[in-house]
Structure 1
Amino acid sequence: MADFFGELGKKISDTASDFSKKAEDTLEIQKIKSDIRSMKRANERDLRDIGRMVYEKFQKGEVDDTEYISLCEEVEKREEEIEKQEEQIVKIKEEI
């Protein structure tokens, strides 16, 4: 009878541990997804700004690509970070 309760306790403990791990993973995934959404919004804003600046320069006949390198680099960095975080989500989901 003691073995039964010992085994039952172990199963309950294992189940609780698994549940806790899954809950932590789910929260981590949600945080990563939130970060990705924020970076995508920032990219959209910067791309909109790039377009506006290019058009204004175009209207004045002053298109000069070097002025936009900084914004383009920021967009590129965020795209790389988004890709890394999406890979992290895949890894976490594989562990579940």
Structure 2
Amino acid sequence: MADFFEDLGKRISDVANDIGKKTEDTLEIQKRRSDIRTLKRASERDLMDIGKMIYDKFRQGEINDTDCIALCEEIEKRGLQIEKQEEEIARIRGER
């Protein structure tokens, strides 16, 4: 009888640990998804700024691609950060 309760206690403990890990993973994934949304919104703003800059230059007859380099580099950096966040989500999901 003692073995039964000992086994039951171990099973309950294992289930609680699994639930805790899954909750932790879910929170981590949600945080990373939030980070991804923030990065994507920032890139969308920069893309709009690039479009406005190019349009303004077009209207003035002065399209100069070098003015857009800094914004493009920031968009590329955020793209790499998004990829890293998505890889981390995949890694977390793979550990379950």
Range with greater deviation from structure 2 (63-72 or 33-42): 63-72
TM-score (norm 2): 0.96
Alignment coverage as a number of residue pairs? 96
Structure-2 separation of matches of 1:33 and 1:89:
8
Structure-2 separation of matches of 1:87 and 1:57:
38
Q: Which runs of 5 or more residues in structure 1 are unaligned? A: none
Moved over 2 A (4+): none
What is the identity percentage for the equivalent residue pairs of Structure 1 and Structure 2? 65
1:18: which partner in 2? 18
Aligned pairs for 1:37-48 within 5 A:
37-48=37-48
Q: Which runs of 5 or more residues in structure 2 are unaligned? A: none
1:52: which partner in 2? 52
TM-score (norm 1): 0.96
Structure-2 separation of matches of 1:19 and 1:95:
14
Structure-1 separation of matches of 2:10 and 2:86:
35
RMSD (CA atoms): 0.7
2:65: which partner in 1? 65
The one-letter code of the counterpart of 1:44 is E
1:8 is paired with a residue whose SS is: helix
Structure-1 separation of matches of 2:26 and 2:54:
42
The one-letter code of the counterpart of 1:63 is I
